[in-house]
Amino acid sequence: MEFLLDSTPLLLSGVFILGLLVGSFLNVVILRVPPLLEYDWRCQCNELLALESGKSIEAEERPPGIVRGRSKCPKCGHQITAVENIPVISYLFLRGKCSACSGGISMRYPMVELITGILFVITIWHFGPNIQGLTALALTTVLVALTGIDADTQLLPDNFTLPLLWLGITVNLFDVHASLPDSVIGAIVGYGSLWLIYHLFRLVTGKEGMGYGDFKLLGALGAWLGWQMLPLIILLSSLVGAVVGITLMAIGKMQRDKPMPFGPFIAAAGWIAMIWGQKILDAYQNYGGGTFS
């Protein structure tokens, strides 16, 4: 272990492989969590309807869990073997097709694995193999999962955002990424700022501009990184979101009245702020003459 930690190439190679494996697991999380949540919601609704009507409602089959239940081809039901489930390599070996029915495998699976591996390497390269680096890997993992789920379903589940917020405050009890006061203020201001913008927008336009999950995600990032990073996160996420939205509308990939998930942009901006946020703020203060603190 000491040899691994002392050798940067070996360390980063190991971290990259770990990121690929985590990315493979995140593909399962992104795919299976939304159906599980919808199943739980329907069960709760059925219980309420049964109480009101006095009649029992037939229970539906529970979707596969995150840990139990082997992955299958969505087209033919072929169970994915261990050899076919090696991150990235299996996709390349199978040429992006199911070994049983030759149905196409989504390019998203190897992309999530590669992106997670690359983010893991950058994170450890920046922080090093210490408590900052390990906790930053945990934050990165959850942000990737939330990005995928929100992109697919426009949901940011409380099962992820609320524990992430409390974990950020807990980590910063020991001043890992921010001081405890900055962490608590970051959680309050992160949630409260988007909450205020949401209600002002609804008051003016009569429409909902974003979901409550966005408030909780920004609050969680404030808890992890401190309130000083929130203006940068809001600026980056808004700028990139606007550019992506305008581009998609210009090329006809999205209609003007169709909502676009904002969570992926908040998550990406939060990760950038975690890695390069202080350098960006320092550059702004040095060359722009302003300050966020």
Contact predicate 264/236, CB 8 Å? no
In the prediction, which pLDDT does 101 show?
86
In the prediction, which pLDDT does 82 show?
82
Complete DSSP assignment for 11-35: HHHHHHHHHHHHHHHHHHHHHHHHH
In the prediction, which pLDDT does 140 show?
98
Task: Give the other-Cβ count within 10 Å of 96's Cβ.
Answer: 14
In the prediction, which pLDDT does 30 show?
96
Each of the 293 residues of the chain gets a pLDDT tens digit; together they read 555 556 788 899 999 999 999 999 999 999 999 999 998 888 888 777 776 666 655 667 778 778 777 778 878 878 888 888 889 998 989 888 888 888 888 999 999 999 999 999 999 999 999 999 999 999 999 999 999 999 999 999 999 999 999 999 999 999 999 999 999 999 999 999 999 988 888 888 877 777 889 999 999 999 999 999 999 999 999 998 888 888 877 777 777 767 789 999 999 999 999 999 999 988 888 876 555 54
Token code pair at residue 1: 């272990």
Q: Rounded to 10 degrees, what is the CA torsion of 170, 175, 180, 183?
A: -80
Q: Is the pTM of this model over 0.85?
A: yes
In the prediction, which pLDDT does 56 show?
59
d(CA 286, CA 289): 6
Task: Give the other-Cβ count within 10 Å of 280's Cβ.
Answer: 17
Which residues, in sequence order, are bridge partners of residue 161?
none
Exposed, middle or buried by CB within 10 Å (0-12, 13-18, 19+), for 278? middle
d(CA 177, CA 270): 13
d(CA 34, CA 152): 9
Token code pair at residue 60: 């539906």
